[in-house]
């Protein structure tokens, strides 16, 4: 059997009934909406992880004037925000492109169904040609690298907005406050409504979960 190229494999994976116009999503760069969505998701996840800390920070110095040091809960401190923002966009590199999904749902952590299928073919002795060496298959893709760079640019541009949300507007989801309120136009927000249900659409209205797919 000759080498199986990526385009041929993607055709095999989608030939079960996906309309041709939906296949235009196979290779593209992330939109501003998708960048903002993932930036917001990563920041809120990190803040959720540290939000229950009972640590108290001691700020300032005891001066000759008699002023006392200030004690600030870590959970509402600027330090917590700074630590959450540190390496935020670097964590975007943990994402993979799940080409079998549509829209913003194509960007998720973990191995995609397509890559799992490719590796399975290789293990069976099939020669698969992706145009890159096998040892580079798990390296961040062009799309994910672009996501990371755009995340850095967006964070730098809207750092003050993120700070304003953190100190004054956390009753609102960051995605709403940042993306809908400052970054995106009303016509650019569609991806924010896309949510992953854990199911992949097949044909004839049938669905199966990722666990069933792995089996």
Structure confidence by residue, pLDDT tens digits, 139-165: 678 899 999 999 999 999 999 999 999
User: Is position 199 within any domain?
Assistant: no
User: Which domain does 91 fall in, by range?
Assistant: 32-59+69-193
pLDDT band at 119 (very low <50, low <70, confident <90, very high): low
What is the C-alpha to C-alpha distance for residues 136 and 152, in angstroms, rounded to an integer? 24
Helical spans, DSSP H, in 3-158: 6-14, 32-50, 78-85, 113-123, 142-157
pLDDT band at 210 (very low <50, low <70, confident <90, very high): very low
User: Is position 213 within any domain?
Assistant: no
User: Is position 24 within any domain?
Assistant: no
pLDDT band at 98 (very low <50, low <70, confident <90, very high): confident
The torsion region of residue 42 among left (phi > 0), alpha (psi -120 to 50) and beta comes to: alpha
pLDDT digits (tens, 9 = 90+) for 122-137: 667 777 666 666 555 5
User: Is position 12 within any domain?
Assistant: no
How much is the pLDDT for 149?
97
pLDDT at 213 over 70: no
User: Is position 94 within any domain?
Assistant: yes
Mean pLDDT of 191-207: 62
pLDDT at 177 over 50: yes
DSSP state of 79: H
What is the C-alpha to C-alpha distance for residues 27 and 24, in angstroms, rounded to an integer? 7
The DSSP bridge partners found for residue 56 are 73
What is the C-alpha to C-alpha distance for residues 171 and 131, in angstroms, rounded to an integer? 48
User: Is position 3 within any domain?
Assistant: no
Nearest residue to 26 via CA among 94, 114, 110, 111: 114
Interhelix angle 159-168/78-85, nearest 10 degrees:
140
pLDDT band at 23 (very low <50, low <70, confident <90, very high): very low
pLDDT band at 63 (very low <50, low <70, confident <90, very high): low
What is the C-alpha to C-alpha distance for residues 207 and 28, in angstroms, rounded to an integer? 26
User: Is position 26 within any domain?
Assistant: no
Cα separation of the two ends of the chain:
25
Q: Which residue has the higher pLDDT, 44 or 111?
A: 44
- Taking the whole predicted model, whether its pTM rises above 0.75 is answered as no
pLDDT digits (tens, 9 = 90+) for 100-109: 888 999 999 8
- Name the domain count of the chain: 1
Nearest residue to 143 via CA among 111, 114, 106, 88: 106
How much is the pLDDT for 125?
72
Pairing of strands 199-201, 128-129: unpaired
Mean pLDDT of 50-55: 70
User: Is position 109 within any domain?
Assistant: yes
What is the C-alpha to C-alpha distance for residues 46 and 84, in angstroms, rounded to an integer? 6
């Amino acid at each position: 059997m000759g080498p199986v190229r990526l385009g041929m494999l993607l055709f095999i994976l989608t030939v079960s009934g996906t309309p041709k116009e939906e296949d235009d999503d196979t290779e593209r760069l992330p939109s501003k909406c998708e960048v903002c969505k993932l930036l917001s998701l990563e920041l809120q996840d990190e803040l959720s992880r540290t939000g229950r800390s009972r640590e108290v920070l001691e700020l300032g110095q005891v001066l000759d004037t008699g002023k006392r040091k200030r004690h600030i809960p870590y959970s509402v401190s600027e330090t917590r925000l700074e630590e959450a923002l540190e390496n935020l966009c670097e964590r975007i590199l943990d994402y993979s492109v799940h080409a079998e999904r549509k829209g913003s749902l194509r960007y998720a952590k973990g191995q995609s169904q397509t890559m799992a299928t490719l590796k399975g073919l290789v293990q069976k002795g099939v020669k698969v040609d992706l145009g890159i060496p096998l040892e580079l298959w798990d390296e961040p893709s062009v799309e994910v690298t672009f996501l990371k760079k755009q995340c850095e640019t967006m964070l730098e541009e809207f750092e003050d907005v993120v700070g304003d949300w953190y100190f004054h507007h956390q009753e609102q989801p960051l995605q709403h406050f940042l993306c809908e309120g400052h970054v995106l136009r009303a016509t650019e927000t569609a991806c924010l409504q896309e949510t992953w249900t854990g199911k992949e659409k097949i044909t004839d209205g049938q669905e199966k979960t990722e666990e069933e797919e792995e089996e």
